[in-house]
Amino acid sequence: MPHEPILVVEDKHDLRLMLKTALGKEGFEVSDAGDAAAAAQQLRRHQFAAVLTDLKLPGGSGLEVLRGVQEHAPHTPVIIMTAYGSIEDAVRAMKEGAYDFIQKPLDLAHLTLLLRRAISQVQLLRENILLKEEFAARYGFPRIIGEHESMRQAAAALQRIAGTGTTALLLGESGTGKELFARAIHHLSPRAQQPFVAINCAAIPETLVETELFGHEKGSFTGATARKLGKFELAHRGTIFLDEIGEIPPAIQAKILRVLEERQFERVGGVQTIQVDVRIITATNRDLQQAVADKQFREDLYFRLAAFPITIPPLRERGEDVLALANAFVLQFCRELKRPALRLGAAAKQAMLAYHWPGNVRELQNAIERAVILADGEEITAEHLQIQPRRSATLPHAAELGLPEGFHWEGTLGEVSDRAARIAEGTLLLRTLQECKWNKSKAAERLGVSYKTLLAKIGTHGLNQ
């Protein structure tokens, strides 16, 4: 690390000269000061990669130098030199923000290593800040996602929470971009250089959820031929994103609560307590408050997870954001599929604005990818999108409601609505299962529910084959 400018503050002339000469030979550009006042002048005039100061100085102390550095250049590391009897003072200096301390008589090799390590860490910190600024500029929020006021509010909430360690709960329909938000929180946080581990809780069979999250020991169950590290362990010092948290079984909910409260757990079949430092971000398209009321979700866990909820609006409520997103996807897929540049035709734009987008951004992305493949000219047409615009807001015929002849309209609004919703739900389930040739996994994905929820609905409506 040659030519890094450092400041040496030492009142003993011979020692100061020796340090200046020795560190200069190691490639540092060394400035020196004999007391705290001279150091303050140097700090006002120059920028240093690191400061090395004696703790005991005439007319002041190394703590004054430390405070001066924190005022003028807060990211500059300060290393304290101390005599044997001043260890307690050195520890106090570290509590005030010193990088480290080194005892006299000095070990020059150790001092050089310490300086280089301190400077490297600060450079990484600065690069991280630059990367985060570049990330925010290039993929800034809400610009990357949209300009609608609802997205501006969600993005503002994201930026407020990103730099904290607070647990976030992302709410919204399937396909709205909850994982994108989770990744953005991670990348804009102090944990950005650490792992980001995402896991879809609804996609894991209930019997395997615990081992996926917390790992297992060899021989803990049939088939456990080796120790396995769980997702929490892999996310140590980073962020874990638990998508569809509402599908976690109650017994596993208790273990997640323990991680939140005590930062520890045991692997399946293990007795060793694993300490873990991890930020938890969760997401769901379920009404967790209703799940709490139905005793399907722990109330204490809900309140810990919902400390900072962020609601991501559905695409149909975001106005012309759909066109901004569509243009971005056109550029992306033209590049990925090595297609010439394409533009969205007027009819295609009209069709997208008229469509309801039940699958949200994910459905839009799939539609644009398909359109880029199908386009045979320079323009994407409405036919290439293969979507049908929603009907105009006129009163539909009874048959269009899917209600049987003789439907009972008596009762309160809630009772009649529930009755109609049950019929509509059963009709949609049957139609989707038939279209998916009774492939339940595919049907669950299309309906935006977990496999377990789909099985429960099938049983409720008596649709088992």
Q: List the domain boundaries for the chain.
A: 4-130, 142-311, 315-385, 413-460
> Within 13 Å and on the Cβ side, how many CA atoms surround 137?
6
- Per-residue tokens: 239: 């962020």
Between CA 319 and CA 357 the distance in angstroms is 12
Give the pTM.
0.55
Architecture of the domain spanning 4-130: 3-Layer(aba) Sandwich (3.40)
- Give me the pLDDT at residue 228, please: 84
Q: Select from 152, 253, 169, 260 the least CA-distant residue to 210.
A: 253
- Give me the pLDDT at residue 218, please: 86
- Per-residue tokens: 89: 């003072």
Three-class SS of residue 392? coil
Tens place of pLDDT for every residue, the chain, 465 residues?
446 899 999 999 999 999 999 999 999 999 999 999 999 888 887 878 899 999 888 878 888 999 888 877 777 899 999 876 566 777 788 888 888 888 888 889 999 999 998 888 777 665 554 444 444 444 443 344 578 888 888 888 888 898 888 999 999 998 898 988 998 899 889 998 888 899 999 888 888 899 999 988 888 888 888 888 889 988 888 999 999 999 998 889 999 999 999 999 998 988 878 888 999 999 998 888 888 998 999 999 999 999 899 999 999 889 889 999 999 899 989 999 999 999 999 999 999 998 889 889 999 999 999 999 999 989 999 999 998 765 444 444 455 565 665 556 655 676 667 777 778 888 888 888 888 888 888 888 888 888 888 888 887 777 766
- Give me the pLDDT at residue 167, please: 93
Between CA 391 and CA 400 the distance in angstroms is 11
DSSP string spanning 249-285?
-HHHHHHHHHHHHHSEEE-BT--SEEE---EEEEEES
CATH classification for the domain delimited by 315-385, as one of 3.40.50.300, 1.10.10.10, 3.40.1190.20, 1.10.8.60? 1.10.8.60
Q: Check if 4-130 and 142-311 are the same fold.
A: yes
- Give me the pLDDT at residue 460, please: 76
- Give me the pLDDT at residue 403, please: 65
* Per-residue DSSP letter, 202: G
Class of the CATH-defined domain 142-311: alpha beta
Between CA 143 and CA 135 the distance in angstroms is 12
- Per-residue tokens: 130: 């630059």
- Give me the pLDDT at residue 143, please: 43
Beta strands across the sheet bearing 239-243 = 196-200, 239-243, 279-284, 168-171, 308-311
- Give me the pLDDT at residue 257, please: 94
- Give me the pLDDT at residue 141, please: 39
Pairing of strands 78-82, 60-61: unpaired
Q: Taking the CB of residue 86, how many other CB atoms lie within 10 A of it?
A: 20
Three-class SS of residue 41? helix
Between CA 51 and CA 38 the distance in angstroms is 13
CATH classification for the domain delimited by 413-460, as one of 1.10.3470, 1.10.10, 1.10.20, 1.20.1270? 1.10.10
- Give me the pLDDT at residue 400, please: 56
- Give me the pLDDT at residue 394, please: 45
